[in-house]
Structure 1
Amino acid sequence: MSADEFDPEIERLFARTPVMPDAALFTADVERRLQKGSAVRSLALTTAGLVGGVIAVREALTINLVSDGASATGAVEQGLRSISVNGQNAVMSGLDTAGLGGLDLSAMGGMQMFWIVAGGLIALAAAGVMRLSQEV
């Protein structure tokens, strides 16, 4: 068989995908894995969003809105200070009720936070590798 006859024959053989006897089972297994992965992903994103939101609200309410050298009138300054303190007290009591009142991230140095995040990412990568090795 010459090279001119061989190439079109190979193309014809590979143009049609053979039907496997377990094609329906394979399709169902792939769909199940996709659904399972998306449920875990959505749970992780929801949890991260809630934790981030709580920290953001807590940090936003601990900002002193009125500095000592502000040029606002006394009544406006007192009103803003009162609103700020009332909001802080309400949020802190809600966080204390949820058990998150003692959460203080400002006490950690930059290097401590770096190593904590690095350790978490390494643990996450190791868990992912273990999961992938078990699925194969």
Structure 2
Amino acid sequence: MSAEEFDPAIERLFARAPSLPDAPLFTAEVEQRLQRGSRLRFLILGLASVLGLGVAAREVLTVRLSAEPGESAALVGHGLQAASVNAQSVLQDGLDRFGLGSMDLAPVGGMQMFWVAAAGLIAVASIGLLRLSQEV
């Protein structure tokens, strides 16, 4: 069989996809997987929304409105300092748990840590977008 005869024969064979006996079952399974993924995303986004709403409501309800003008800046400064100390203790506990408690981060400046954190966030966002595009 020559090439001129072979190409049209292949085209005729693949022009129409054969119907398989389990095609309806396959279609139902694919639709079920798509629905399960969207349900999971809906559940995760819903839980995150409820959690965010709860945190926002708690913060709104615990605001001290009777503070003097100069006192509010001191309260904010004290709150930021307390949050920083809390974050440092959580980080130190995590490092101790993994055996990295003696790791000294003092030589690394604030700007370097900012860029490292920014690169990490960009990497996490890129991975998330990649996984999301593969699901769709």
- Bigger relative contact order (CA 8 A; separation at least 6): 1
TM-score range, shorter chain: 0.3 to 0.5
TM-score, structure 1 normalization: 0.45
TM-score using structure 2 length: 0.45
